Amino acid sequence: MQDYRILTINPGSTSTKIGVFHNDQMIFDRTIRYEAKELSVFETIYNQYEFRKKSILEALDEEGINLSKLNAVCGRGGLLRPIEGGTYEVNELMLKDLKEGYAGHHASNLGGILAYEIGSGLNISSFIVDPVVVDELLDVARVSGSPHMARKSIFHALNQKAVARKVAAQLDKKYEELNLIVTHMGGGITVGVHNYGRVIDVNNGLHGDGPFSPERAGSVPVGELVRLCFSGEYYREDIMKMLVGKGGLVGYLGTSDVQKVEKLIEHGNKKAKLVYEAMAYQIAKEIGAASAVLAGKVDAIILTGGIAYSKMFVSLIIERVKWIADVTVFPGENELQALAEGALRVLKQEEKAKQYPGEHIHSSTL
Ligand SMILES: Nc1ncnc2c1ncn2[C@@H]1O[C@H](COP(=O)(O)OP(=O)(O)O)[C@@H](O)[C@H]1O
Ligand SMILES: CCCC(=O)OP(=O)(O)O
């Protein structure tokens, strides 16, 4: 059997996580953290490209990783056109969409770009796997209530699918045989309805939908939002920041760090307690809505992401949703492993790499 060596790259808003895999075994990983002031000199996320690339190559060099032994580079995919899940070869159109921010700007846009630039320099393949725009929504889930707006699928597809596969294996089943509700709780929070391997409904984790999160407002009262927009007090950017970046815990408490919020609660801060409980309450409510999508036939509820490390937070959710199905807690994320496995399936020819953008997915049915 041929062996493969894969470099995986997962850019986040404050860090770039990298991993080197020998087949599906991680042999090196590192989280390269950046100071806020290091990144603030760049006007756009795309402008951070050279800086992040240099930091990756330096980390690999420090570890003595021989780049010429790599067979592929695989990055986290960003805000592209809506596409179905899977492993995609990075192509010209994908690079253009990632650079221009076809569906917006998020650090994950750099994943495909960095994979391509490093891969093409070494003359090896570059891929992305399950980008945040994976769109497997039911038509009925796309209808928002206004013909001027459609609901969109933007979520932690990579980690949700990776963790769902892991839990399916624990249950001795295939992912495609189960109905799962997967909740990723990180900087953003998304609750995905996984119906036999397809995410048929999910809140748009980036653009104002679903539970609030450490740094995002989630669904807000829309009449109030319109009032703020036309109050003459704010620019568009101010309002967008209220929704993403300065919403949620940051908006109420000035921090996106759940551990700091727990410290405030320990010290008797009543506001912190209320906001913390409200975030768990909104997540439980979203899981309840997800269970209705599956008509109550739920094999398991999964809680994952950084916040799932908190026993206190997780127990607040579990006490409200345990009547629906068993809850499995999978703290952190499994994204580097998922990237490597996605690339490996293609390298081993178990799957063909998909071509972006593939079949057009309608953003509205009406
Ligand atoms: N041990 C922990 N207990 C509680 N919260 C945690 C813990 N570790 C990380 N978090 C919280 O998880 C969130 C970040 O989650 P993560 O999945 O790393 O985010 P991202 O989506 O940005 O990758 C932060 O709010 C952080 O404070
Ligand atoms: C919903 C898009 C992905 C996302 O929100 O990722 P982060 O939580 O890492 O910002």
What's the total number of domains in the chain? 2
Distance 69 CA to ligand 2 centre (A): 32
Give the whole-angstrom CA distance, residue 213 versus residue 151.
19
**216: alpha, beta or left? (left if phi > 0; alpha if psi -120 to 50):** beta
Q: Smallest Cα–Cα separation from 6: which of 147, 118, 106?
A: 118
Give the whole-angstrom CA distance, residue 343 versus residue 175.
19
Q: Taking 60 as the threshold, does the pLDDT of residue 213 lie above it?
A: yes
Average model confidence (pLDDT) across the chain: 95
Confidence (pLDDT) at 363: 60
In a domain, 360, yes or no: no
Residues of the chain with pLDDT > 90, as a percent, come to: 90
In a domain, 142, yes or no: no
Same domain, 191 and 315: yes
Confidence (pLDDT) at 142: 96
Confidence (pLDDT) at 365: 54
Q: Smallest Cα–Cα separation from 183: which of 325, 83, 297, 78?
A: 325
Distance 349 CA to ligand 1 centre (A): 36
Confidence (pLDDT) at 364: 56
In a domain, 56, yes or no: yes
Distance 214 CA to ligand 1 centre (A): 9
Helix (H, G, I), strand (E, B) or coil at 217: coil
Confidence (pLDDT) at 232: 98
Residue owning the nearest CA to atom 5 of ligand 2: 188
Same domain, 48 and 13: yes
Same domain, 344 and 314: no
**66: alpha, beta or left? (left if phi > 0; alpha if psi -120 to 50):** beta
Helical (H) or strand (E) element with 16:
strand 15-22
What does the block give as tokens for 114? 């960095």
Q: Taking 90 as the threshold, does the pLDDT of residue 362 lie above it?
A: no
Give residue 1's pLDDT band: very low, low, confident or very high (50, 70, 90). confident
Which sign does the torsion angle of CA 80, 84, 86, 89 carry? negative
Same domain, 253 and 344: no
Distance 66 CA to ligand 2 centre (A): 31
Same domain, 37 and 132: yes
Same domain, 240 and 316: yes
Same domain, 283 and 340: no
Lining ligand 1 with CB less than 6 A are 12, 186-187, 214, 256-259, 305-307, 309-310, 333
Residue 46 belongs to a domain with what CATH number? 3.30.420.40
Residue owning the nearest CA to atom 1 of ligand 1: 309
In a domain, 363, yes or no: no
Structure confidence by residue, pLDDT tens digits, 156-211? 999 999 999 999 999 999 999 999 999 999 989 999 999 999 999 999 999 889 99
Establish whether residue 154 lines the binding site of ligand 2, counting it when its CB lies within 6 angstroms of any ligand atom.
Answer: yes
Same domain, 189 and 278: yes
Q: What is the average per-residue pLDDT within 5-14?
A: 92
Give the whole-angstrom CA distance, residue 335 versus residue 248.
24
In a domain, 339, yes or no: yes
Structure confidence by residue, pLDDT tens digits, 309-358? 999 999 999 999 999 999 999 999 899 999 999 999 999 999 999 999 98
Residue 94 dihedral angles phi and psi, to the nearest 5°: -60, -45
Residues of the chain with pLDDT > 70, as a percent, come to: 98
**Residue 310 lies in domain:** 171-331
In a domain, 141, yes or no: no
Give residue 34's pLDDT band: very low, low, confident or very high (50, 70, 90). confident
Same domain, 98 and 192: no
Same domain, 263 and 220: yes
Q: Taking 80 as the threshold, does the pLDDT of residue 300 lie above it?
A: yes
Q: Which amino acid is at 83?
A: I
Same domain, 190 and 293: yes
Structure confidence by residue, pLDDT tens digits, 81-136? 999 999 999 999 999 999 999 989 899 999 999 999 999 999 999 999 999 999 99
Confidence (pLDDT) at 193: 98
The alpha carbon of 325 is separated from its chain's Cα centroid by a whole number of angstroms, namely: 24
Confidence (pLDDT) at 32: 94
In this structure, of 111-120, 146-155, 356-365, the range with the lowest mean pLDDT score is 356-365
Greater pLDDT, 201 or 13? 201
Q: Which amino acid is at 166?
A: K
Q: Which ligand is nearest to the CA of 210?
A: 2
User: pTM of this prediction?
Assistant: 0.93
Residue owning the nearest CA to atom 4 of ligand 2: 188
Confidence (pLDDT) at 12: 84
